[in-house]
């Protein structure tokens, strides 16, 4: 249920380069628009994404993705403009590219740092996923155009499948349009449809999918 380490490494770097370009083009009005992430503007969503990459570059890995850490990432960048946040991301990507180059296959298959429940490959895949779903959040808030590619959708579906399996959901097969089938719990009942709709429904961002839980629900 996880892409290869080479796919994940290339995808997480490319997706964040594109994220920097995406947010840099936002107007002040768009930057301050309320988002579907409760209490956050579109700019706050971007601050979180960029803060995560900056934390990794600085070696601050403990608790990444937790509410406390995401709140800190946003707070540290209050008042920063789209261009400032985009440049911070580009700077972090330089360090993170060097970091990812250091890992051999054993490391990619070993445990992730910072308390993440999965391998390093799965942890980096989760960061890739984060950039894509939050780009969609920003697009929904601002009306900006965002069209994830097939590789982005594959990474997101594989990540959600991993989270669903951790929840004990399944067995099932995610047979979504345009990407390979992904088995959860060994495969079973088929879930079909548009990958974007599936991702929104499985993450509490859109209409619920019958039989598929929200991976973020308590």
Q: What are phi and psi of 189, to 5 degrees?
A: -55, 140
Right CATH for 5-147 from 3.40.50.620, 3.40.50.20, 3.60.15.10, 1.20.120.450: 1.20.120.450
> Which DSSP symbol is given to 114?
T
**Structure confidence by residue, pLDDT tens digits, 113-161:** 888 999 999 999 999 999 999 999 999 999 999 999 999 999 999 999 9
| Chain segment 45-102, per-residue pLDDT in tens | 999 999 999 999 999 999 998 999 999 999 999 999 999 999 999 999 999 999 999 9
Locate 80 and state its tokens: 């920063």
- pLDDT value at position 72? 97
In which band, very low, low, confident or very high, does the pLDDT at 2 lie, cut at 50, 70 and 90? confident
pLDDT of residue 100: 97
**CB–CB of 74/44 below 8 Å?**
yes
- Asked if 11 and 128 touch (Cβ cutoff 8 Å), the reply is yes
Distances (CA, A) of 24 to 88, 92, 121, 164: 11, 15, 28, 34
> pLDDT of 134-143, one tens digit each?
999 999 999 9
CA distance 200 to 72: 25
Q: Are strands 172-176 and 182-184 parallel, antiparallel or unpaired?
A: antiparallel
Rounded-to-5 percentages of helix, strand, coil across the chain: 55, 10, 35
Listed in order, the ranges of the chain carrying CATH 1.20.120.450 are 5-147
| pTM of the predicted protein model | 0.96
CB-CB contact of 65 with 159 (8 Å): no
Residue-wise pLDDT for 186-208, tens only, equals: 999 999 999 999 999 999 999 99
What the block records as the tokens of 151 is 């590789």
């Amino acid at each position: 249920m996880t892409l290869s380490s080479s796919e994940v490494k290339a995808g997480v770097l490319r997706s964040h380069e594109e994220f920097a370009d995406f947010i840099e083009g936002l107007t002040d009005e768009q930057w301050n628009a309320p988002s579907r992430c409760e209490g956050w503007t579109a700019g706050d969503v971007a601050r979180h994404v960029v803060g995560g990459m900056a934390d990794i570059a600085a070696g601050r890995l403990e608790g990444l993705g937790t509410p406390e850490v995401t709140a800190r990432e946003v707070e540290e960048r209050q008042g920063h403009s789209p261009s400032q946040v985009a440049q911070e991301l580009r700077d972090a990507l330089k360090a993170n590219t060097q970091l990812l180059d250091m890992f051999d296959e054993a490391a990619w298959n070993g445990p992730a740092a910072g308390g993440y429940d999965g391998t390093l490959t799965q942890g980096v895949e989760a960061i890739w996923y984060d950039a894509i779903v939050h780009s969609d959040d920003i697009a929904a808030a601002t009306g900006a155009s965002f069209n994830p590619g097939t590789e982005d959708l594959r990474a997101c579906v594989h990540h959600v499948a991993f989270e669903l399996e951790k929840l004990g959901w399944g067995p099932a097969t995610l047979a979504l349009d345009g990407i390979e089938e992904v088995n959860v719990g060994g495969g079973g009942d088929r879930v079909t449809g548009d990958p974007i709709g599936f991702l929104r429904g499985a993450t509490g961002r859109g209409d619920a999918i019958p039989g598929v839980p929200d991976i973020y629900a308590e």
